[in-house]
């Protein structure tokens, strides 16, 4: 049974698309091919792929512009540039924008597939971390404004009495808010909460 393609190739050269589709098929990978950046954006959800192979220069939107557009989305898979017109400044810019690799044509077929397989594994790791971050963000969104105020103060090391004085509320109210914060965030202590929030940077 044919699995859903985990690799997307965007290149305006039909010969390159056909050759790479055959190459990856020979190693057990299916590839979705697109003849332009616009076609990828119009026909598919780029975030569902595990790795994106982008040509640098294409009519219309180039690979670098496509990467910038993908960076505005909730999740961008690993991006690898394939180009026959590479230079150092372009490679540096690609890496700054988050590309994982920059390969000049012609390239070694087996090395390319090995790289993509490594980036598919990287994508799986990234998705777990991304899912964790989104879950933490959702929990934070569920806190009330007052709960957030209490949380910030007890994470800063303030005692319940100091928090009560700062917010002009009773210590009992502080204790209630503090317990709700820990419960909503799914932790048992301020230390656990601080470690959890580190994942958000």
For 115-148, how does the pLDDT look when each residue is reduced to its tens digit (9 = 90+)? 999 999 999 999 988 888 889 999 999 999 999 9
Dihedral angle computed from the Cα positions of residues 41, 43, 45 and 46, in that order, rounded to the nearest 10 degrees: -50
Inside any domain, residue 75: yes
CA distance 109 to 85: 18
Question: Which of 94, 109, 133 is the last residue before a domain boundary?
Answer: 133
Mark whether 72 and 156 lie in a shared domain: no
Mark whether 119 and 150 lie in a shared domain: no
Phi, psi angles (nearest 5°) of residue 166:
-65, -35
CATH of the domain at 115: 3.40.50.2300
The pLDDT of 162-189, averaged and rounded, is: 93
Which residue segment(s) compose the domain that 34 sits in? 7-133
pLDDT band per the 50, 70, 90 thresholds, residue 150: very high
Mark whether 125 and 156 lie in a shared domain: no
pLDDT for position 201? 64
pLDDT for position 82? 87
pLDDT for position 3? 61
DSSP state of 102: E
- How is 137-162 classified by DSSP, letter by letter? HHHHHTS-HHHHHHHHHHHTT--HHH
Inside any domain, residue 2: no
Mark whether 103 and 150 lie in a shared domain: no
Phi, psi angles (nearest 5°) of residue 12:
-80, -5
Q: Is the pLDDT of residue 1 over 60?
A: no
- Per-residue CA distances from 75 to 27, 31, 72 (Å): 27, 20, 8
Mark whether 121 and 154 lie in a shared domain: no
pLDDT for position 2? 46
Q: Is the pLDDT of residue 154 over 70?
A: yes
For 10-35, how does the pLDDT look when each residue is reduced to its tens digit (9 = 90+)? 999 999 999 999 999 999 999 999 99
Mark whether 111 and 150 lie in a shared domain: no
Inside any domain, residue 154: yes
For 67-112, how does the pLDDT look when each residue is reduced to its tens digit (9 = 90+)? 999 998 889 999 999 887 767 787 888 888 888 888 887 888 889 9
The pLDDT of 45-66, averaged and rounded, is: 90
The pLDDT of 36-55, averaged and rounded, is: 92
Question: Which of 81, 113, 133 is the last residue before a domain boundary?
Answer: 133
Mark whether 157 and 70 lie in a shared domain: no
Inter-residue contact 143 to 155 (CB < 8 Å): no
Mark whether 108 and 125 lie in a shared domain: yes
Inside any domain, residue 200: no
Inside any domain, residue 44: yes
Q: Is the pLDDT of residue 174 over 80?
A: yes
Inter-residue contact 8 to 49 (CB < 8 Å): yes
Q: Is the pLDDT of residue 36 over 60?
A: yes
Angle (CA) 88 90 92, round 5°: 70
Mark whether 70 and 164 lie in a shared domain: no
Mark whether 29 and 84 lie in a shared domain: yes
CA distance 119 to 121: 5
pLDDT for position 58? 85
């Amino acid at each position: 049974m044919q699995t859903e393609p985990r690799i997307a190739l965007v290149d305006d050269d039909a010969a390159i698309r056909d050759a790479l589709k055959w190459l990856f098929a020979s190693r057990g990978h299916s590839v979705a091919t697109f003849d332009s950046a616009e076609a990828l954006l119009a026909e598919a959800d780029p975030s569902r792929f595990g790795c994106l192979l982008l040509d640098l220069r294409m009519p219309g939107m180039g690979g670098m512009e496509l990467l910038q557009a993908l960076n505005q989305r909730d999740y961008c898979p690993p991006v690898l540039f394939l180009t026959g017109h590479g230079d150092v400044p372009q490679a540096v810019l690609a890496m700054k924008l988050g590309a994982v690799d920059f390969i000049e044509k012609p390239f070694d077929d087996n090395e390319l597939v090995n790289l993509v397989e490594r980036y598919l594994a990287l994508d799986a790791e990234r998705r777990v971390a991304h899912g964790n971050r989104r879950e933490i963000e959702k929990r934070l969104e569920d806190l009330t404004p007052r709960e957030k105020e209490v949380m910030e103060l007890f994470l800063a090391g303030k005692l319940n009495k100091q928090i009560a004085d700062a917010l002009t509320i009773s210590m009992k109210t502080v204790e209630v808010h503090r317990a709700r914060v820990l419960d909503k965030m799914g932790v048992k202590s301020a230390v656990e909460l601080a470690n959890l929030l580190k994942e958000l940077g």
